Amino acid sequence: MLAETRRRLLLDRIARQGFATLEELVKAVGVSESTVRRDLEALDLAGSVKRTHGGAVFSGEVRSMPALEDRQHAATAEKQAIGRATAALLEEGDTVLLDGGTTTYEVARALVGRSVQVVTNSLPIAQLLASSPQTDLILIGGYVYPRTGVALGPLAIATMQGIRVRKAILGARGIVTDGIYNSNLLLVETERQMMACGQEVIITADHTKFGRLALARLCGLADVQRLVVDAGLPDEFRPILEAAGVEIHIAPSQAGPTNGKAESVRSDA
């Protein structure tokens, strides 16, 4: 196999997964470990991947995982409402794990000045909350994914294995009848550990995420305790979510007499 062809295969696999170990790359192209290392060095120099201990992370343009600033202008009002409604579910003194993303960023914005303990793998969220003296902040380390400022991968997962929080709050890129989906496999692996840290898992997602499929499946609907969404939630998803035991919270369009608290929708079953 020509070196150029082999490197394209390696790059395609790393891009598809977000991260790949050296061992699986060797198996994928059927050459020696030293050859794959040289290929990764070449791809690293070209700026296509970033070599890490034991593998490589994709660092090029990822359409499935756009930059934070590229997503902040989509459904802005809805995300802000969801952020306020999610923050209203937290009690003073709560410990919460916040995933990185534009909707969870709005949750963090609503928590500024609140007496809570926040664990996060998001540099933008950490920067926001670092200025809030009432908030105890714990930043999870690891490989920082390009353009998103989110720490992912084995180091982040290892750090979280000793952490327990009352609520784990995550975003989503797609929600369909068989579960929650997100942008790439490396992100999903990290988020699964986040879910394992929480006594309760809360998904925050605006209505545009429903019926949309993303690259990697995070979990089934039954693995989620609460979902906070705006009033645009498609009607056909209500019975599906309720049948899975998910408590739905509909975020009001703007903070008012309810202090931003969401309407809770429960199944009578």
Give pLDDT tens digits along the chain (269 positions): 777 788 888 988 888 778 889 999 999 999 999 999 998 988 887 677 888 888 888 876 444 445 455 444 556 899 999 999 999 999 999 999 999 999 999 999 999 999 999 999 999 999 999 988 999 999 999 888 877 899 988 899 999 999 999 999 999 999 999 999 998 888 899 999 999 999 999 999 999 999 988 878 999 999 999 999 999 999 999 999 999 999 999 999 765 444 566 766 654 43
Q: Are 232 and 207 in contact (CB under 8 A)?
A: yes
Question: 179-182 and 174-176: which strand pairing?
Answer: antiparallel
Domains of the chain: 3-58 (1.10.10.10), 68-265 (3.40.50.1360)
Tokens 């692996």 appear where? 189
Backbone angles phi and psi of 176, in degrees to 5: -130, 180
Q: How many residues does the chain have?
A: 269
Residue 60's pLDDT is what? 60
Residue 65's pLDDT is what? 47
The radius of gyration of the chain from alpha carbons, rounded to an integer in Å, stands at 20
Q: Are 172 and 182 in contact (CB under 8 A)?
A: yes
Backbone angles phi and psi of 13, in degrees to 5: -65, -45
Q: Whole-angstrom Cα distance, residue 200 to residue 189?
A: 18
pTM score of the predicted model:
0.73
In DSSP terms, which residues pair with 20 in a beta bridge? 56
Q: Are 102 and 72 in contact (CB under 8 A)?
A: yes
What is the residue type of 138?
I
Residue 51's pLDDT is what? 87
Residue 89's pLDDT is what? 97
DSSP 268: -
